[in-house]
Amino acid sequence: MPLTIRAWCAAALLAGGGACRAGACEPDPAATLRRIAAGSCIREDRPQPVWRAVAAFEPDTILLLGDNVYGDTEDVAVLRGKYAALAADPGFGPLRERVPIVAVWDDHDYGANDAGREFPRRRESQQVFLDFFGVPADSPLRHRDGIYRSLVVGPPGRRVQFICLDTRFHRSALAVRPASERRRGEGPYRPTDDPEATILGAEQWRWLAAALAEPADIRILLSSIQVAATEHHWEQWGNFPAERARLLRMIRESGARGVFVVSGDRHSAELSRVPPGPDALAYPLYDLTASSLNQPQAEGRADDPNRLRLGPCQREPSFGTLEIDWDDAGGPAVTLGIRDVTGAVVHAERVRLGDLAPAGGR
C-alpha cells in the first residue's frame, strides 16, 4: 500500500514519544491547503535570498524537488555537512522550522551528477535524506528501496495528494549522443532504444498504480526531472520514451482527475502544457518546472527548446507557486505561477479543476 502521511506521523509519535518537532513532519493530513511553494537546485554554500520571497508568500507547505543540496559525494559525512549548511542558512532555517516540507531528491543530493541505480552509496544517501527531513527511525521508508511515497492532505472535497516519485534509485543508464552530433550548449543525452530501460523500476510502478487509486481532488506529481518537455538533450522523462508513455497511459487509465506535475533540475523555470490526446491524458497536463532557487542559468546560453512552454522561460533564480481557490463560484481552480526573488509574478496560468476531469474519473 502507498505510505501515507498518517503512517509517517504515527511513526514519528511512536519514535519520539510526543508531537513531531518543528520542521520534522510533512503537512497535517487534516489541513486545507491553499498556497504551495515549490523549488529546486539550492547551492547550500551560496547566498539564498529567495527564501525571503518564499516566506512572504506565506505557503501552507513547500515542495522541494531535488538538488536540495549539492552533495556530489560518496562520503556520508560530507553529505551530512552540506545538509547542515543548508539548515544553517538564515533564510531557510527558520522557514523549515515553521512550514511543512514535502521533498524528493535529484542527482546531486542523491550523490552524483546525472546518476541512477549505478550509484554505489544510494542506500546511505537515502538515510541521510530521511534524517534531514525528519523521518522517524522506524518508518517503513527506512527499509524501502527509494524515497517514493504518497501523502493525502485535506478533508473530502479538498484533498490534495502529493505523489512523490523517485527518479534516481532504480533508473537505468542514460543513452549518450555521439560527440559529433552535439552542438555547443546542448545536452549529451538521447532517447534510449533499450526496451528494458526504466526510470521507476517494477516495484515503484506497482506502487504508483495503487497511489493513483486513492481518493483525491488534486494530485501533484513531484518529479525531479521534467515530464512535459522532450526536445532538449538534458535529463528528462523523454530520454525514456516508453516510460514516459507508460506514465501518461497509467494516469489516463486510472481515471485520476486533477493531475499536475511539478519538476525541477533545469536551472530555469517554465510552465508547460501537454495537450489531451490518444497518447496523453484525456485533459491537459500541466508541468510546472520550478528551478533554480539560487542559481541563474549560464549567461549567453539559449533557452531549451520546448514547444509546449506557456509564457517565458525564467533564467534567474525563482520559485514556483500553486494557489488553490476552493471557493471560486465557477468551481475550484489552481493558479500555477513562477515568481522571482522579489516575489513578483513572472508568469501565471489559472486552471479550473473541472477542466481536468475525465468522464467517471476519481
The per-residue pLDDT for 121 is: 98
Alpha-carbon gap, residue 224 to 226, rounded angstroms: 7
Q: Hey, where are the domains in the chain?
A: 5-18+27-355
Which region among 29-43, 77-91, 298-312, 322-336 has the lowest average model confidence (pLDDT)? 298-312
DSSP β-ladder status, 318-325 and 35-39: antiparallel
And the C-alpha cell for 222? 513531484
Alpha-carbon gap, residue 251 to 80, rounded angstroms: 36
At 93, which amino acid appears?
G
Q: Taking 80 as the threshold, does the pLDDT of residue 209 lie above it?
A: yes
Average pLDDT over the chain reads 92
Q: Convert the pLDDT of each residue in 157-205 to its tens digit.
A: 999 999 999 999 999 999 999 988 888 888 999 999 999 999 999 999 9
Residue 54 vs residues 69, 95, 104, 161, 242: alpha-carbon distances, Å: 18, 9, 18, 22, 36
Partners of 243 in beta bridges: none
The per-residue pLDDT for 177 is: 96
- CATH architecture entry for 5-18+27-355: 4-Layer Sandwich (3.60)
DSSP string, 255-284: T--SEEEEE--SSSEEEEEEPPSTTS-SS-
Whether the CA torsion 266, 128, 95, 152 is positive or negative: it is: positive
Spatial contact of 93 and 104, defined as CB atoms under 8 Å apart:
no
> What predicted TM-score, i.e. pTM, was given to this entire model?
0.93
Q: Convert the pLDDT of each residue in 119-149 to its tens digit.
A: 999 999 999 999 999 999 999 999 999 999 9
